[in-house]
Amino acid sequence: MAEYSTNLRVKLPVVCIVLEVILIILFGVLVEYDEETGAKKWHHKHSNDSDMENGFYYRYPSFQDVHVMIFIGFGFLMTFLQRYGFSSVGFNFLIAAFSLQWATLMQGFFHGMHGGKIHVGVESMINADFCTGSVLISFGAVLGKTSPVQMLVMAIFEVALFAVNEFILLEVLHAKDAGGSMTIHTFGAYFGLVVTRVLYRPNLSQSQKRNCSVYNSDLFAMIGTLFLWMFWPSFNSAITHLGDDQHRTALNTYYSLASCTLATFAFSALVNHEGKLDMVHIQNAALAGGVAIGTAGEMMLTPFGSMIVGFLAGTISVLGYKYLTPILESKLKIQDTCGVHNLHGMPGVLGAIVGSIAAATASTSIYGNGLQDVFPEISDHFTQTNQAVMQIVSLAVTLGMALIGGLIVGFILKLPIYGAPPDTLCFEDSVYWELPGEEETQHELTVVKLDEESEKLNS
């Protein structure tokens, strides 16, 4: 491996240790508990309240579900490659552990500064996981072709850009995007697509035999799919207003995912000449409904409208895998390993458009006094048209940030210093991992018995 400079004995430890030391110092200087986490603050301000009124008990179940999605859902979803399971789960673990710490700081700089300090609690944990999810989406686009050092460097820049984009959308433009169709999925997908375009490998066909799945690897990937599918209502509703807003978001996501799954199975069979189902479609497109309902999930979309959104998302996702992905690779030279454009990119854009339409039709006759919770700007000084326009402007800003940011970061990652695998050894765990002796085991099973042993058996 040394001839390909993939030896990470020095590079990976240096990057991990330096980054963690910097994070520890920054946390020591800038971070403190919020009023619901710090002992003195909580008991001073809530001396007459029950401890059970602490926000932890309302938000932690959602955080737990989101956390499972990040580490198990995303990790196992990417294990479909036959020789890249260790890297899919392991690098997902590494990148997520770094990103959630860095995201706490970067989001804190823009959203959580109080008297020069970043306040942290269960909501900041959820938001940091959201940012981490966007990084892991980008990871899916470059899966198998990059080193863990490249991924950590990408995460440094992407987290910072995510925080800036999120601040512009939520604080400057006053967009609504509780489930992150724009901030998480659209941004992560198109950022990753541009990065993988810059890192284009013209000779990647030399590793083509490993860029596919086998029966067991697809089964493992379905574990990730099912975890993501089950917990997506928590993901979209985790930071919405408590009460009817959160309840409605979970319900809308629930029906969108169910409808999306039916569309996925239908179109997967339809686009196959033999009418057979493609596991790639089932693993991915069945989740597109959760992505597409993210922006409008807390809005009065109705279960009927949510099901339409889910059905459309599943349809465009399957068609994207079947027809668009080959075009992107052959014409635009975008080697999208996990098909993040189909699962996160297009459904994310659909979600932004649905959110804009829902904003344009919002009124007190529909929301009553709840309009203040969902669209506070409409209640204050926006018209419905203003809000709808801001939703579309936010989509444009997100795409711009993702495309330009991905272009710059892609060229940074292209430097030959990160221990990236050669074209002939992409999608291969053995480049970076000590693997169990499966080859030795197979060899032992085929050993021919010695003559005397054969005679004993025959006798």
Place of tokens 């975890």: 227
Terminal C-alpha separation, the chain: 49
Q: How far is CA 72 from CA 64, 67, 75, 90, in A?
A: 12, 8, 5, 11
From the list 232, 141, 119, 109, the residue with the least C-alpha distance to 180 is 232
Answer with the residue of higher pLDDT: 338 or 41.
Answer: 338
The mean of the pLDDT values for the chain is 93
The model's pLDDT over 98-110, given as tens digits with 9 standing for 90+, comes to 999 999 999 999 9
For range 252-281, the mean pLDDT: 98
For range 57-86, the mean pLDDT: 97
Please give the angle made by the CA atoms of 427, 187 and 134, to the nearest 5 degrees: 55
CB 75 within 8 A of CB 208: no
Alpha-carbon span 250 to 169, nearest angstrom:
23
User: What pLDDT sits at residue 442?
Assistant: 43
From the list 160, 78, 127, the residue with the least C-alpha distance to 409 is 160
User: What pLDDT sits at residue 352?
Assistant: 98
Local confidence band at 325 (pLDDT 50, 70, 90 cut-offs): very high
CB neighbours of residue 270 within 10 Å: 12
User: What pLDDT sits at residue 441?
Assistant: 44
The matching CATH number, chosen from 3.60.21.10, 3.40.50.970, 3.20.20.70, 1.10.3430.10, for 11-46+53-445 is 1.10.3430.10
User: What pLDDT sits at residue 449?
Assistant: 43
User: What pLDDT sits at residue 4?
Assistant: 58
**Would you list the domain boundaries of the chain?**
11-46+53-445
The model's pLDDT over 111-142, given as tens digits with 9 standing for 90+, comes to 878 889 999 999 999 999 999 999 999 999 99
Among 67-71, 107-111, 220-224, the least confident range: 107-111
Answer with the residue of higher pLDDT: 215 or 3.
Answer: 215
CB neighbours of residue 245 within 10 Å: 18
DSSP designation for 426: T
User: What pLDDT sits at residue 3?
Assistant: 44
User: What pLDDT sits at residue 448?
Assistant: 41
Alpha-carbon span 2 to 228, nearest angstrom:
38
Local confidence band at 447 (pLDDT 50, 70, 90 cut-offs): very low
Residue 373: partners with Cβ closer than 8 Å, 6 or more residues away: 241, 243, 244, 245
User: What pLDDT sits at residue 348?
Assistant: 98
Decide: residue 388, CB within 10 A, 0-12 exposed, 13-18 middle, 19+ buried. Answer: buried
User: What pLDDT sits at residue 454?
Assistant: 38
User: What pLDDT sits at residue 452?
Assistant: 47
The model's pLDDT over 172-183, given as tens digits with 9 standing for 90+, comes to 999 999 999 999
Alpha-carbon span 159 to 91, nearest angstrom:
17
